[in-house]
């Protein structure tokens, strides 16, 4: 990859700078010949890459893990066992927008804004005091070109001026659960349900900015957050889904098939969700069947995650009104562990929220964890297109070419290199827009992993687009993470011939 391109020259001893392998006037022609040679080699490489595409239904592993060791399977409910249609985000957006108008006395004109499913992606950070939404990489650097105030991108120079560079210090970043504490200004949106919240924040900011309405960004953030919370707490969302379950829930036989397969192999199963019992019961009857309770040993509703996983002080209550065992409201994980004895690496828990579902379980309790990332399937399909593969292969080759040829410091060569840099920048923008016009891929900034992926790698042993991916593996399958090359390793097995051939010659020319 791009890292491989960089690795080729990084291990080489420093060489004296030289100008050209011939008369100075030939330099431009020499560089463009190298460019065309690299381009041809890249084009020859694309068919072989196209014959080895990624499987959108695969399970990807961060840690080695054998399903033979797993005796107990746990599940979150929303976006794990059940998936919702696009209509749900529109419902949440509209209900929260109306709460802002009716209860927080916001201008009635904001009703003209409608939910745009293509605006935001998960994992973005929001600077509460500056009212800007942005994408941050694994090393706390802002990806320039992805900073939005309202619906407008903030120019790079303004971002750099605002943050005195493009790095966000650790103390300004939110903690594990995305809360702003100790005066932190950044909130990270990790939940799929947060997509309408980011979009609503941007719409209201846009309205105030366009109409020159003076406002306090911190209060706006809190009001939108409260409105979104009320859509859940006041039961607006639950009632709407229960009233029209076919509109909002994507019916999937796979959920039933996955649970039945695990039950057939004698696996124990439990469910932990923040949703109320009647809501879960109605949804599970729709997607699994009226006998869904028979598949689970324990069901925990209104769990108040993440507190459920880490708060030892809350007391415990059992009830028998929904199924054989129901933990409700006052339960906590420590009491659950005492009751069941289900601890350590024989438990595998699946959830979609990397912090409130998975972080404590892996850090404090040693459970194995599986992240459900619905966006993964659509991103992999994009990555399998010929246009993406062609663009990405050439982008990586061009980056390697730039790194190698920068030793030519004469004016003519530098002019060519500037043209290459311009092409590289345009291609980076194009690869971003393949995924999302504003923010690009959920998993990558230009060359680094996103902050979202960093946390995913830390807290999830395996990750997949949906639980249905489990149907492609038997219950004794061992997941092995791929060995990815480090910056100082020479990855001969993955490096492109297109990059190697000209660059080796360049090294000999010196």
Active site residues: 76, 78
Which 3 state secondary structure label does DSSP give 58? Answer: coil
Q: How far apart are CA 443 and CA 18, in angstroms?
A: 39
- Stated as kind and residue range, the H or E segment containing 368 is strand 368-372
What's 464's DSSP letter?
E
Asked if residue 306 has a cis previous peptide bond (ω within 30° of 0), the answer is yes
Count of CB atoms within 10 A of residue 131's CB?
22
Q: How far apart are CA 8 and CA 133, in angstroms?
A: 36
Structural contact between residues 209 and 132, judged by C-beta atoms closer than 8 angstroms: no
- 3-state DSSP helix/strand/coil percent for the chain, to nearest 5? 50, 10, 40
Q: How far apart are CA 384 and CA 405, in angstroms?
A: 31
Q: Considering only CA atoms, which of 383, 371, 363, 329 is closest in space to residue 190?
A: 371
Q: How far apart are CA 495 and CA 493, in angstroms?
A: 6
Structural contact between residues 188 and 174, judged by C-beta atoms closer than 8 angstroms: yes
Please indicate if the annotation marks 116 as binding a ligand: no
Q: How far apart are CA 99 and CA 487, in angstroms?
A: 50
For tokens 């000999």, the residue is: 508
- Work out whether strand 326-328 and strand 318-319 pair parallel, antiparallel, or are unpaired: antiparallel
Q: How far apart are CA 184 and CA 173, in angstroms?
A: 6
What's 8's DSSP letter?
H
Query: Token pair of 184, please?
Result: 């932190």
Structural contact between residues 98 and 188, judged by C-beta atoms closer than 8 angstroms: no
Q: Considering only CA atoms, which of 92, 81, 83 is closest in space to residue 238?
A: 92
Structural contact between residues 130 and 217, judged by C-beta atoms closer than 8 angstroms: yes
Q: How far apart are CA 272 and CA 269, in angstroms?
A: 10
Beta bridge partners of 137: 450
Structural contact between residues 47 and 389, judged by C-beta atoms closer than 8 angstroms: no
Q: Considering only CA atoms, which of 238, 187, 232, 464 is closest in space to residue 352?
A: 464
Please indicate if the annotation marks 76 as binding a ligand: yes
Structural contact between residues 286 and 312, judged by C-beta atoms closer than 8 angstroms: no
Count of CB atoms within 10 A of residue 112's CB?
9
Residue 340 CB-half CA count within 13 A: 24
Task: State the binding site for GMP.
Answer: 78
Q: Give binding residues as ranges.
A: 76, 78, 352
Q: List, as residue ranges, the binding site for Mg(2+).
A: 76, 352
């Amino acid at each position: 990859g791009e890292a491989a391109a960089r690795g080729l020259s990084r291990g080489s001893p420093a060489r004296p700078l030289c100008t050209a392998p011939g008369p100075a006037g030939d330099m431009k022609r020499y560089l463009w010949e190298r460019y065309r040679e690299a381009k041809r080699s890249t084009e020859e490489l694309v068919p072989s890459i196209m014959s080895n595409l990624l499987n959108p239904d695969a399970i990807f592993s961060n840690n080695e893990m054998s399903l033979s060791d797993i005796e107990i399977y746990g599940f979150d409910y929303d976006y794990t066992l059940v998936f919702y249609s696009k209509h749900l985000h529109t419902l949440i957006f509209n209900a929260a927008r109306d709460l802002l108008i009716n209860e927080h006395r916001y201008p009635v004109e904001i009703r003209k804004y409608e939910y745009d499913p293509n605006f935001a992606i998960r994992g973005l950070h929001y600077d509460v005091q500056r009212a800007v939404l942005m994408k941050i990489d694994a090393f706390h650097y802002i990806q320039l070109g992805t900073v939005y105030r309202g619906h407008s991108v903030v120019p790079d120079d303004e971002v750099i001026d605002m943050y005195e560079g493009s790095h966000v210090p650790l103390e300004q970043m939110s903690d594990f659960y995305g809360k702003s504490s100790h005066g932190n200004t950044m909130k990270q949106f990790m939940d799929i349900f947060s997509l309408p919240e980011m979009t609503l924040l941007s719409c209201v900011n846009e309205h105030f900015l366009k109409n020159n309405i003076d406002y306090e960004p911190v209060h706006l953030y809190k009001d939108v957050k409260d409105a979104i919370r009320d859509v859940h707490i006041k039961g607006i969302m639950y009632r709407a889904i229960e009233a029209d379950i076919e509109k909002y829930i994507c019916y999937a036989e796979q959920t039933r098939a996955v649970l039945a397969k695990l039950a057939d192999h004698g696996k124990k199963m439990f469910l932990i969700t923040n949703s109320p019992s009647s809501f879960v019961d109605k949804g599970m009857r729709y997607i699994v069947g009226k006998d869904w309770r028979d598949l689970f040993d324990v069901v925990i509703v209104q769990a108040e995650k993440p507190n459920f996983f880490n708060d030892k002080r809350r007391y415990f209550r059992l009830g028998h009104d929904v199924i054989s065992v129901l933990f409700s409201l006052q339960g906590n994980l420590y009491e659950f562990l005492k009751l069941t004895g289900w601890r350590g690496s024989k438990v595998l828990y699946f959830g979609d929220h990397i912090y409130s579902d998975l972080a404590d379980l892996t850090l404090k309790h040693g459970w194995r964890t599986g992240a459900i990332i619905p966006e993964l399937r659509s991103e992999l399909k994009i990555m399998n297109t010929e246009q993406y593969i062609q663009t990405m292969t050439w982008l990586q080759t061009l980056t390697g070419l730039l790194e190698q040829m920068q030793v030519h410091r004469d004016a003519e060569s530098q002019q060519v290199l500037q043209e290459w840099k311009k092409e590289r920048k345009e291609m980076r923008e194009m690869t971003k827009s393949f995924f999302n016009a504003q923010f690009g891929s959920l998993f990558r900034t230009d060359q680094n992993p996103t902050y979202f992926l960093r946390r995913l790698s830390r807290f999830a042993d395996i990750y997949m687009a949906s639980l249905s991916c489990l149907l492609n593996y038997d219950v004794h399958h061992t997941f092995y993470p791929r060995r990815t090359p480090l910056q100082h390793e020479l990855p001969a097995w993955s490096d492109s011939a297109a990059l190697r051939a000209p660059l080796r010659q360049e090294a000999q020319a010196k």
